[in-house]
């Protein structure tokens, strides 16, 4: 996972994250947490097998999410950016809260997804990448 954290750290620095290494791990954890919640246990195991330190990343993910106006604004922005109504939000839009909690706008979600998908695809091949891509869209 080191390469993914390094790549995500570079993206973090480019968008102004203040604590890039920690933020990159938290963001990766949030994304993999979403995958874990959406994939079957067998499919998630396929993804987890190619990501060293998966348990640590999942534990690093922000908990509790943003609340109140911050969560509403983040969800609304994610909804607008992803072109979905608020009633049908799921997938990536559910990451708006964790991103907001880390001080990032929801439009940053799209910058991190390719980093995760490239890493998983490079380590696990197209079939594992496809599993993850199905939930990170």
Task: Say yes or no to pLDDT of 99 above 50.
Answer: yes
What is the value of pTM for the model shown? 0.72
pLDDT of residue 71: 42
Note whether 45 and 63 are within 8 A (CB): no
pLDDT tens-digit series, residues 101-130: 877 777 778 888 888 898 899 889 999 999
The closest of 61, 59, 90, 54 to 75, measured between CA atoms, is: 90
Q: Give residue-wise pLDDT tens across range 17-70.
A: 655 556 778 888 888 999 999 999 999 999 999 988 899 889 988 875 444 444
Asked if residues 132 and 50 have their Cβ atoms less than 8 Å apart, the reply is no
Contact in structure between 50 and 123 (CB atoms under 8 Å):
yes
If pLDDT is split at 50, 70 and 90, which confidence band does 75 have? very low
Segment 8-19 shows an average pLDDT of 59
For the chain, the domains span: 2-51+86-135
Task: Grade residue 85 by pLDDT with cuts at 50, 70 and 90.
Answer: very low
Residue keyed to tokens 């509790």: 64
């Amino acid at each position: 996972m080191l390469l993914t954290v390094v790549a995500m750290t570079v993206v973090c620095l480019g968008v102004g994250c203040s604590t890039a290494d920690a933020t990159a791990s938290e963001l990766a954890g949030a994304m993999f947490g979403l995958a874990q919640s959406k994939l079957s246990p067998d499919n998630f195991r396929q993804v987890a097998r190619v990501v060293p330190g998966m348990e640590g990343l999942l534990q690093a993910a922000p908990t509790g999410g943003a609340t109140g106006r911050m969560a509403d604004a983040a969800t609304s922005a994610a909804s607008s950016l992803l072109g979905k109504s608020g009633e049908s939000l799921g997938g990536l839009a559910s990451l708006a809260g964790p991103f907001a909690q880390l001080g990032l706008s929801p439009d940053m979600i799209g910058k991190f997804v390719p980093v995760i998908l490239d890493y998983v695809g490079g380590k696990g091949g197209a079939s594992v990448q496809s599993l993850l891509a199905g939930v990170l869209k």
